[in-house]
Structure 1
């Protein structure tokens, strides 16, 4: 054992170390009293109280008597000699580096010892124990080395002492996992990868090697995906790692359709586990038919084995052969139909699942006044409700973004005063429209001017796509713009790209599925409903279906791969909300806001189950 002693050590201090640390260590490691304890000839080791103590315990272990300066039998003397030589070569002014030299030599000695021990293991020299992994593969090892790696092995070897080599079996640890753990025990290092993390985690957890457990834990959190989330969830459940278990389970709920459609692990779930998953309100599915198809795939994988779990299909209303051929399920269907007919239950009254992400609408202008209200849209129930009111009205025309669990509400206009924003491009001052642009660096908390745009513009729309910034349309003091500019932050250069087909300002601009969408706006004559889509690969614009209602100054966001436009101005403020489905190039109305609003800020936010205002 390594015991800190401070700056000096006398006979009394050394006696404390021997009695409190050396004695229990020797009796634990050598219960048959056949151990040897080697000490050097420092004066405190030769004091009468030390000699008397060793005489009283001479039946428990042996203390060899060696002549002074026996470097071959006291390897530490080699280290002191090396340190003295290096220190002697230094000038007095470099005394501060003494500790670094000592550390470097200790590290060198440790590495040398580890290398020697590992060579002995690989050569099957002086091995005193056999570790048998799953599959019957044996590893010859040194008990002393394993004791230094894990308290599990210390307890194991001391409870079952033996004078000759024994075999210890661990059928739950894979041969590869055991090999990696033994490599760590002898060398102090192991490489954790996606391929070995599961078996290494289980082995390290069994043997209580916390350094490996923590490395595996961190990697599992980092590499959580649809392919492995079920196995990680089961592993965390088995070893009671609640944070990892909860994150893996939540990932399963949020990515259910991908997991159910493509994961082999999904088919190996038990009926109880599957019932628990599909019964959660947080399950992320756009249509309940996806749940039915998932259950059907699970049933068809092993019909005989899964027959007793058919009742989980009753979460859907679709009639299939498996339901009609199962009397219990058929009775449930008949009973459900009867109850719904008698109660005149409407489908829209049924409880909907909770979405993984929600769409808040912040601030804006409501009834010609800035509002303090934040409304939240639930895409599952197609419903808006007020979830928060601030102490004062929120600024209008602000930008908002969601990043790492926080919502940033940026800039805007308050009492006819414009506020500082986190990203600014163009705009207007008392002299006219601007072409200047600024960039804020969060790492340095500094603003800096970047290359100005080719054209001055105000009320332009902007978005990012493929690491570049696009600025679309806008207006001058004497007209409206159709031009579009693209900024590359790598070379600090703007580039004029293909213009839009029509000039407009106060537009909604957003990127989705590798394309840039410019929606609505105003062109000095009328409010616009048209939509233009830019393909950066083809460097061209195409026209998509127009919105149902023309509007400008509206909120815009992408939720579940669909574009949402919220509120805005059409002659007066509007409360209408529409969504665009690019797969069918179609707009459709959704639930209106509670009241007409424009200059509203929108962003998609991950639903926070533990936050009251986001708990739908």
Structure 2
């Protein structure tokens, strides 16, 4: 990967030509006997290291400066960078370049190497990267490697690197609120695996590591069958007491109510690594600019630390490359073609290029780094047109029109195609569905849905496409049907508990969530989720008053998810000794 430093002013090619022709040089850098003739002013401009090196020259004659701890080949690359502002970074040289640039204080090269390594982070090397970055104080690499470990812990701990963590490093990871887990029991399994690597040296650390295991987030059955019978727990009084305390806390939480949580460390919920946002919509008689965040680890909603720039309903939202895009929509009699983008790192909104067409009741999705906007209503006509946006050029481009004009449809992506289903054409609710292939710029009709559906939700999940709820004309629906793209067929899945249309829909933590919507007699605040392993919908513990016509979007990679979650320190504390519940003010 070639790297070019945009901060270094281009000097044409004059100085580099002079270097290559050995003209007007005034210093010699020597590495392992290899000499490089250089110009001091160029090297000083590259790094303060060389300014400090050259200032102690006593005699006026040209002097040779020896540099140790770097190879001739790497030194040559750094000298060439000083003259050209460009350097090739590869898997073969990145470690040597990083160490040399760190020693020589060539900050731009060190950052280029850090950026390169950040792109190489995987479950097989993230722990080594984290440890390496800690040694060299590379904050960005260290933070990204650590975030990868916590985000993918259940994939990381079965690996070889995991066994070579120090007890302090493992305790830090296991104790983190950011640790992302499908099951808290994975922490116990990870502890046992680490212990088994060098049992004679590591058994003494069992109590420390077990204290990082939030045992009360498992179940009484798990503790009795998996934790207490383990010899390391059974034979250690401190460990055994931790297990008994966890059982007592679980019994207390079960007695209080389902969905109750405590701030006790053993029961403290982890933070989610992804957040579902409910954005805008229609509440009462007005469109709203509210954005609510769903903390899936507690099942509770909080207000996001920002709102829309102005109220919108019947709009589309897309999360792409750290930005939240809000497209089209309407507010009372005003219909929008505008597109706003929220930078989630700075929490600032900016308008980007507007769509070619005004689109309320729009269908929006993302595929391969491009945003698609399809159909909708412009205040007069149901639209057949479609367009896509390239964030790199800030430009919208028209693509082939759909086979059917449709507003109130819904769309998703799967297998490198865009799918759009249902909607309303101005006369009737639609049963039709079609797919778009970007390579050919063609729409293809697929098998129609079993039911006509307008105001439905469509989402890809487990390599199939789910069409949920909506309205077939006279009736609001709670049914769900599933499309298999491999055989072009639809089939029924479990039905929702509540009829609804014009609602929010997303997938998070392997469940499909529906939020709000209109039931036919009024709006609903109920939130439901679908578990495909049981083919059943369940009521989420906390409702959300966002009305209907909202849009949901899952965002990840946030700098700090605690800003979107229920503050853990505000949860009640259960005093095991006195049996009292202490509530923070």
Same topology, TM > 0.5 = yes
**1:588 alignment counterpart:** 538
Within the candidate set 500, 516, 533, 2:449 is matched to 500
Within the candidate set 135, 159, 169, 1:273 is matched to 169
Q: What TM-score does the superposition give when structure 2 sets the normalisation length? A: 0.71
TM superposition shift of 1:613? 5.1
Which SS does the other structure have where 2:501 is aligned? coil
Note the 1:25-424 alignment, pairs <5 A. Answer: 107-108=16-17, 110-111=19-20, 140-142=33-35, 151=49, 178=71, 180-181=73-74, 184=77, 191-210=88-107, 212-262=109-159, 264-311=160-207, 312-314=209-211, 315=213, 316=215, 317=223, 318-319=227-228, 320-334=230-244, 348-349=261-262, 350-387=267-304, 394-420=311-337, 422=355, 424=373
Q: Structure 1 residues 221-230 or 420-429, which shifts more?
A: 420-429
**2:7 alignment counterpart:** none
**1:39 alignment counterpart:** none
Note the 1:420-435 alignment, pairs <5 A. Answer: 420=337, 422=355, 424-428=373-377, 433-435=382-384
Within the candidate set 549, 553, 559, 1:603 is matched to 553
TM superposition shift of 1:358? 1.1
Which SS does the other structure have where 1:233 is aligned? helix
Unaligned runs of 5+ in 2: 1-9, 58-65, 216-222, 339-354, 356-371, 567-585
TM superposition shift of 1:399? 1.4
Q: 1:353 and 1:456, CA in 2 relative to 1: closer, same or farther beyond 3 A?
A: same
TM superposition shift of 1:374? 2.6
Say whether the 8 Å CA contact 2:299–2:540 is kept in structure 1.
Answer: yes
Unaligned runs of 5+ in 1: 1-99, 115-126, 132-138, 160-167
Greater relative contact order, per chain length (Cα 8 Å cut-off, separation 6+)? 2
Say whether the 8 Å CA contact 1:146–1:185 is kept in structure 2.
Answer: no
**1:552 alignment counterpart:** 501
Within the candidate set 457, 460, 484, 2:433 is matched to 484
**2:220 alignment counterpart:** none
Q: 1:185 and 1:391, CA in 2 relative to 1: closer, same or farther beyond 3 A?
A: closer
Which SS does the other structure have where 2:478 is aligned? strand
Which SS does the other structure have where 1:470 is aligned? strand
State the distance in 2 between where 1:103 and 1:387 align: 49
**1:79 alignment counterpart:** none
Say whether the 8 Å CA contact 1:360–1:375 is kept in structure 2.
Answer: yes
1:471-527 deviations in Å (ceiling 9; x for gaps): 211223433222112223343322222222222111101223443222111111322
Q: Does 1:521 align with 2:438?
A: no
Q: 1:153 and 1:266, CA in 2 relative to 1: closer, same or farther beyond 3 A?
A: farther
TM superposition shift of 1:344? 9.6
Q: 1:333 and 1:580, CA in 2 relative to 1: closer, same or farther beyond 3 A?
A: closer
State the distance in 2 between where 1:308 and 1:555 align: 51
Say whether the 8 Å CA contact 1:181–1:204 is kept in structure 2.
Answer: no
Say whether the 8 Å CA contact 1:468–1:487 is kept in structure 2.
Answer: yes
**1:575 alignment counterpart:** 525
State the distance in 2 between where 1:576 and 1:341 align: 28
The CA RMSD over aligned residues, in Å, is 4.1
**1:91 alignment counterpart:** none
